[in-house]
């Protein structure tokens, strides 16, 4: 069986440390699944490339084909890696906006690895007081180990192995791989034109 992993990267710059962390996590998850004899395919959703599409969806309630394809890759995956920069002590607005347009039930029982980047270590708690509750609210299954990378983690010391970042990446990757292999989640095909109860716009954002 081929496992599909969707990677959400909310970095705004190019290149970005957020995408770098997403790539490191993806490689580790691929390796962990491969070590268990699993074939893996990966879909990268770079949110900066669909930012205007996300905004339009919030306003109109409809996703264009490009955005619809990105949503389908996430909601039909066997596991998700979600990585965001931390702005003002929480996930980025672009990251939250993308999550808001997903059907509220589409991530139920989805194995999810959460990760974030920021300038200093003091923002690492945002993973547990912001990102973890967000995915728990959506009934996803979040792995125990969250991965935060500060600017100092990308220095010479980190590359030399003196940082715990590689250890955290490896531990989180193994946890996600284990959940993906044991998940009994069934994928539902969601009609993007179906109106939920209350006739609010499609997606989790609702009429505001």
178-204, pLDDT tens digit by residue?
999 998 876 544 444 444 444 444 444
The whole-angstrom separation of Cα 179 and Cα 166 is 20
Q: Using an 8 Å Cβ cutoff, are 44 and 8 in contact?
A: no
139 or 158, which is more confident: 139
SS3 191: coil
Q: CATH code for 2-182? A: 3.40.50.360
Residue 43's region, left for phi above 0, alpha for psi from -120 to 50, else beta, is beta
Tokens 């993308």 belong to which residue? 98
pLDDT value at position 197?
Answer: 40
């Amino acid at each position: 069986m081929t496992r599909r992993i969707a990677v959400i990267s909310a970095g705004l710059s190019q290149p970005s440390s957020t995408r770098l962390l997403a790539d490191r996590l993806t490689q580790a998850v691929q390796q962990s699944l491969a070590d268990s004899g699993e074939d893996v395919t990966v879909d990268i959703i770079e949110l900066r490339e669909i930012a205007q599409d996300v905004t339009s969806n919030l306003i109109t309630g409809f996703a264009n084909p490009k955005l619809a394809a990105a949503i389908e890759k996430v909601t039909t995956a066997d596991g998700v890696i979600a990585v965001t920069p931390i702005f003002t002590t929480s996930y980025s607005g672009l990251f939250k906006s993308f999550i808001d347009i997903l059907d509220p039930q589409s991530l139920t029982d989805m194995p999810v690895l959460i990760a974030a980047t920021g300038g200093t270590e003091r923002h690492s708690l945002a993973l547990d007081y912001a990102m973890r509750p967000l995915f728990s609210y959506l009934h996803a299954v979040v792995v125990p180990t969250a991965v935060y990378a500060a600017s100092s983690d990308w220095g010479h010391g980190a590359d030399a192995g003196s940082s715990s970042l590689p250890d955290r990446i490896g531990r989180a990757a193994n946890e996600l791989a284990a959940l993906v292999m044991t998940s009994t989640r069934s994928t539902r095909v969601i009609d993007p034109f179906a109106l939920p109860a209350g006739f609010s716009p499609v997606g989790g954002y609702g009429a505001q």
